[in-house]
Amino acid sequence: MRYSESTIEDIRMGNDIIDIIGKYTRLSKSGDRYMGLCPFHNESTPSFSVSADKQLYHCFGCGASGNVISFVMQKENYDFVETIKYLADRIHYELPEENYERDYAEKVRVKDILYEIHKKAARHFYDNLNSDMGAHARRYLDGREIIKAVRNKYGIGYAEGKNDIYNFLKKEGYEDDIIEKSGLVVPDKNGGFRDKFYDRVMFPIFDIRGRIVAFGGRTLEEGKKTAKYLNSPETPIFSKSYNLYSINYARASGMKEFILVEGYMDVISLYQNGFCNAVAALGTAFNDNHAGVLKKYANSVIILFDSDEAGTKAALNAINVLVKNGIKAKVLQVKDAKDPDEYLKKFGREAFAQLLKTAKSYVLFQIESKKKKYDMSDMTQKIDFTKEAAKMIKNFDSEIEREVYIEETSKMSGVSKEAIGDEVKKLSDNTLLNMNQKRYMKEKYKTNISGVDDARQSLLYIMATNRNIYNNLREYIKKEELMEDIYIKLFDMIKEKYKSGEEIYPAELVSCFENIDEQNTISKIFMLRYEFNDIASSEKAVNDQVKLIKKVYYESILAGNDDIGTVQKIIKEKNNLEKLHISLRNES
Ligand SMILES: [Zn+2]
């Protein structure tokens, strides 16, 4: 939260709810409440009620509910922070310059300098490459047949090491601490710094907006004990688990299908041959964050990794990530070349374009990879493989897809299409049975929901408004039994308040939630629940509520659990519920 709880509470208390709402609708006193026409929906008889006592409002017509902050948020369409500023202004309350704002401004400042440093460093590396110093680096690039235009497009440069970049940045006027933050230097033994990249061809890494955020360096010291590729470390402007190399150019290509490759050279080589939609995850496995970035620009991806074991493993991982994130995945492996770069050099652009069209469904790729693990000349292993394949195929709802994969599996295994088809069907029937069972359990559990939601709210209300009842109750309730995040949070807040000996103001609890729906729910708890007149009826109600809450919680665990130990334990606890009786008569 941007402002401290006490600041928010000062501002909330300084703005009387009757005052504020009175500006939007005429309120008249009725018993211990004020009533008026609802400012949120059209009506002719008042159903909008405001409690001066609780500093909360509730509309019995449309369900709007909240405190003074919720009211302004909804009525003026402000977010939480804007509302706090508006209400502070109204009572001439000077908001402290919170740490958050200072920290934020400082972070932005540091990032801006880092962008600037990277831009200047890239220019410097580029100049190095084209000077005498860069002669052997140019020879390397010539050997890789990267043309001048593409070298410039990707801003390729050369890092000499030997404090070249450190001295350059010092001369440009940067302090040690920000230079260190850039990741271009590392501390040395003598308490100074040395360049991180030594005698390497430098590939600037761009973000989606085309800003240089990091570098990758390829060593020129063949055969030495140094990493072939070295990337910048994580910095305030670079996170390798989010960054995809060349995503800026792939996005600009306007194509909806991207090619996912393994390294810089693959991307660059593809670009040079007119395939501008290739990207690579650098120095880390393709993950959900990468998929999240990709998804904004592409709906389909061709995975083009090396065909060795490591490449196959990486491809299987990428498939899982892409499919999980709803991106279509196809797989391609180059033949007669070790990577796409070599393939393009050997066979040319046309052949590669043809090859792209043969990318196969990821399912076939998965089935084929499975096959490699079985000895197909062994009868039992052949059967096991076919069963494994059938398991994968059954996940498809479409008959057409199933048929295609069944046919391919039949070709691979020599088992008839009919036999595989029967296996798939058998497996699907079992799954269906399972699904129906789960659905039934869920329905059963849902019928309890409306009642249990009431019970949770009522229990929280009674605990928040009656310290003695809370003391009698608290050891019987585990917060996870409340199941919904919002109730768990409220329960924790009530606990905290009592622990620190503070009084509980309903409207204060409401403004601990920034989201308007949550404010609404919490506010309703305090506006709509009623207290019982005598201890006997309170006790009965509380016991019924606790039992229902626990019962639903246990059932939800049983519905999704196959672990026999857990199931037995929960069933035992559930049976013990019958005997549970909580007394509220202890004074504390
Ligand atoms: Zn209303």
Say how many Å lie between the CA of residue 41 and the centre of ligand 1: 5
pLDDT band of 521, cuts 50, 70, 90: confident
Mean pLDDT of 553-580: 83
CA of 61 to the centre of ligand 1 (A): 5
CATH of domain 448-579: 1.10.860
Classify the phi-psi angles of 30: left when phi > 0, otherwise alpha if psi is within -120 to 50, otherwise beta: beta
| Sequence spans of domains, the chain | 5-90, 102-231, 244-358, 368-430, 448-579
Distance 175 CA to ligand 1 centre (A): 59
Do 298 and 291 contact (CB within 8 A), yes or no?
A: no
The DSSP output letter for 238 is B
Distance 64 CA to ligand 1 centre (A): 6
Distance 216 CA to ligand 1 centre (A): 59
For 345-371, what is each residue's pLDDT tens digit?
999 999 999 999 999 888 888 888 888
The share of the chain scoring above pLDDT 70, in percent, equals: 93
Give the range among 14-18, 289-293, 583-587 with minimum mean pLDDT: 583-587
Q: What is the pLDDT of residues 235-291, one digit of tens each?
A: 999 988 889 999 999 988 889 999 999 988 999 999 999 999 999 998 788 988 899
Report the alpha-carbon distance of residue 493 to residue 267 in Å, rounded.
53
Whether residue 488 is predicted with pLDDT greater than 90 in this model: the reply is yes
Task: State in Å: Cα 47 to ligand 1 middle.
Answer: 7
Q: DSSP states of 312-365 as a string?
A: HHHHHHHHHHHHHTT-EEEEE--SSSSSHHHHHHHHHHHHHHHHHHT-EEHHHH
Highest average pLDDT, of 300-304, 408-412, 567-571, comes from 300-304
Cα(44) to centroid(ligand 1), Å: 11
Residue 48 has pLDDT above 90, yes or no: yes
- Residue among 333, 274, 277, 271 at smallest CA distance from 305: 333
Structure tokens at 402: 């199933």
The matching CATH number, chosen from 3.30.830.10, 3.90.980.10, 3.40.50.300, 3.40.50.10610, for 102-231 is: 3.90.980.10
100 — pLDDT class (breaks 50, 70, 90): low
Neighbours of 551 (CB within 10 A): 16
Q: Which CATH superfamily is domain 5-90 in?
A: Zinc finger, CHC2-typedomain (3.90.580.10)
Examine the pLDDT at 433 and tell me if it is beyond 70: no
Pick 244-358's CATH classification: 3.40.630.30, 3.30.1280.10, 3.40.1190.20, 3.40.1360.10. 3.40.1360.10
Q: Binning pLDDT at 50, 70 and 90, where does residue 49 land? A: very high
Residue 286 pLDDT: 92
pLDDT of residue 125: 97
CA distance readout (Å), 31 to 51, 52, 266, 507: 10, 11, 77, 20
Region 437-445: mean pLDDT is: 51
Query: Tens digits of per-residue pLDDT, 296-327?
Result: 888 899 999 988 888 888 999 999 889 888 88
pLDDT digit string (tens) for 182-193?
Answer: 999 999 988 899
Yes or no: say if 519 and 506 are a contact pair by the CB < 8 Å rule.
no
| pLDDT of 502 | 82
- Residue 406: partners with Cβ closer than 8 Å, 6 or more residues away: 393, 417, 420, 421, 424
Which of 126-140, 512-526, 538-552 is the least confident region?
512-526
Q: Which pLDDT score is estimated for 432?
A: 57
Strand order across the beta sheet in which 28-30 lies: 28-30, 33-36, 48-51, 56-59, 65-66
Query: Cα(80) to centroid of ligand 1, in Å?
Result: 21
Pick the more confident residue, 437 or 560. Answer: 560
In the prediction, which pLDDT does 102 show? 67
- Please report, rounded to a whole number, the percentage of residues in the chain having pLDDT higher than 90: 41
**43 CA to centre of ligand 1 in angstroms:** 8
* Cα-to-centroid distance, 15 and ligand 1 (Å): 22
Which pLDDT score is estimated for 430?
66
For the chain, counts of helices (H) and of strands (E): 25, 17
pLDDT at residue 444 greater than cutoff 60: no
- pLDDT for the residue numbered 431: 61
Ligand 1 geometric centre to CA of 39 (Å): 7
b/e code 564-579 from CB counts within 10 Å (16+ = b): eeeeeebeeebeeeee
What's the rounded Cα separation, in Å, for the pair 28 and 36? 6
State the distance from the centre of ligand 1 to the C-alpha of 38, rounded, in angstroms: 5
Sign of torsion over alpha carbons 234, 240, 245, 248: negative
Please give the Cα distance from 57 to 34 (Å, whole number). Answer: 9
Measured in angstroms, how far is the CA atom of residue 138 from the centroid of ligand 1? 73
Average pLDDT of the segment spanning 548-571: 83
Query: Is residue 165 very low, low, confident or very high in pLDDT (cuts 50, 70, 90)?
Result: very high
**Res 339: pLDDT:** 85
The chain-wide mean pLDDT, for the chain, equals 87
pLDDT computed for residue 414 by the predictor:
87
